[in-house]
Amino acid sequence: MEAARKLKNPNRAWIRPLIEQGGARYQQIVRQIATAVDDLVLRPGDRLPPQRELATALGVDLTTVTRAYSELRALGLLEAQGAGGSYIKRKASGQDTTVDLGMNIPPLLDGSFFAQLMRAGVAHAQERMGSGDPLMSYHVGAGAPVDRQAAAVWLQPMLGAVDPGRIVICPGGQSALGALLLTCSRPGDCVLTEGLTYPGLLAAAQTLDRSVVAVAADAQGMSPDALEDACARGGARVLYLNPTIHNPTTRTLSAERRAALHAVASRHGLAIIEDDPYWRIAGDAPAPLAALAGPSGAKHGAPVYYISTLSKCLAPGLRTAFIAMPHGAAITPVLDALRSISLMPASWMTAVATHAIETGMAHDMVKLVRHELAQRQRLAGRLLPQGVQCHPHGLHLWLELPPLADPYRLIQIAQQRGVGVADADAFRADESVHKALRISLGGAMSQEQLRVALEKLSAILQEEHRPARATGIV
């Protein structure tokens, strides 16, 4: 029976030579194992070779394999049992007690209000179908007028009045990001971003053959002087910014820093992709760069493509995001790129999101999420008092570790004790070494479950290493 399958000897049937031009070696290992799982070459309970043995077989450093195994644990594919070895993880079940603090998702997805929001949205979608709306047919283009109007309402607090004709409905923020990279750059072009950045950008850039170049940051975020230097080296077409509760460092750019970065991008003819999923839950963020650009931004300054998604403040499963196009920018290339990626948004989910916005339920849900996150942040502040950077309503924390810390060991021990976290390597845009953990607070089903998980993590940190003192809350 597969539930009892646990091989004593490692399964080596999946191992293939690494490819010289196949990208980062640790990522090739991750892809090999993930593909083997999909193809049933590796099955739940199969043991992987010891890290040192696999490193020898593939001709790579031990750290490369360690990093790959760490990434697989973060993806939920690998289960480490210390000296017992590493195994392909079984499907989630009622016996799986791991609390995932490695993924940024909003809390309350199992709450009564969210269930009410979904029931109301589904009922509304059924009414639309009953009245002759071809909701379940193909819908190519920027989105139905009713959905774009709702998006304009959603964006109004960030950007002010937005012409619905400038809005593109997308099936999630990742597809929006991919479409904009296709639109604003060509293969081989440079995308500028901070040295620690959103992993989705790194994945999209690699897939689309864009080169990611790290720009130095200071305590306030990306440095305008460093951006100036990066632009002077040439080859850059796009600047990617995550300006509010930055993922992973939690920094929020000030209004002055946003204006300074926009000015540099304008001088060098960059297009800006402003990925801003946390603006609504922050509650204290300055106006986005897209608002600073103003009506003439596309003509007299850097065009800013603004992405807002419902994934981080309502639910990832709604798969609904919005692009606010720069004034004067052609919308057709973005639509062409989106069609090549996903053809169209899921109309059913978009209808649910639209109803939630129109009725104000989405706004009420955001308030509930912000309140819950404030309580969870306070709980984390009591249990993880050292070295933590955070925002009072943020989905995650950033915990810097001392120089001698071994993040891979910490993550492995945490996984063994039922706590999943993400380490800095997942966010690196260059080869710099960052010893830190990103701890997400929304994955725990309740505050009590979060408390137990954080207490376990705190105990592990005290056993292994004492984290560096905090330099201040951001």
Name which CATH class applies to 114-359. Answer: alpha beta
Residue 360 CA to residue 145 CA, distance in Å, equals: 18
What residues does CATH 3.40.640.10 cover in the chain?
Answer: 114-359
In this predicted structure, what is the pLDDT of residue 297? 45
**pTM of the entire structure?**
0.78
What residues does CATH 1.10.10.10 cover in the chain?
Answer: 1-94
For residues 370 and 281, the answer to whether their CB atoms sit within 8 Å is: yes
For residues 313 and 395, the answer to whether their CB atoms sit within 8 Å is: no
In this predicted structure, what is the pLDDT of residue 219? 94
What are the start-end ranges of the E strands in 181-235? 190-194, 211-215, 217-218, 221-222
Distance of CA 266 to the CA centre of its chain: 27
Six-digit token pair at 145?
């007028």
454 vs 462, higher pLDDT: 454
Q: For residue 53, what is the enclosing H or E element? A: helix 51-58
- Secondary structure class of 141 (helix, strand, coil): coil
For residues 350 and 169, the answer to whether their CB atoms sit within 8 Å is: yes
User: Which range has the worst mean pLDDT, 87-101, 214-228, 371-385?
Assistant: 87-101
Buried b or exposed e, range 384-417, using 16+ CB within 10 angstroms: beebbbbbebbbbbbbbbeeebebbebbbbbbee
Which among 316, 427, 395 is positioned nearest to 70, based on CA atoms?
427
Share above pLDDT 90 across residues of the chain, in percent, rounded to a whole number? 60
* The CATH number, out of the four listed (3.50.50.60, 1.10.10.10, 3.40.50.720, 1.20.120.1200), of the domain defined by the range 1-94: 1.10.10.10
Q: What is the pLDDT of residues 111-125, one digit of tens each?
A: 888 889 999 999 988
456 secondary structure, DSSP code: H
Share above pLDDT 70 across residues of the chain, in percent, rounded to a whole number? 92
Query: pLDDT class for 1, splitting at 50, 70, 90?
Result: very low
Residue 45 has pLDDT above 90, yes or no: no
pLDDT (mean) for 278-296: 88
For residues 166 and 324, the answer to whether their CB atoms sit within 8 Å is: yes
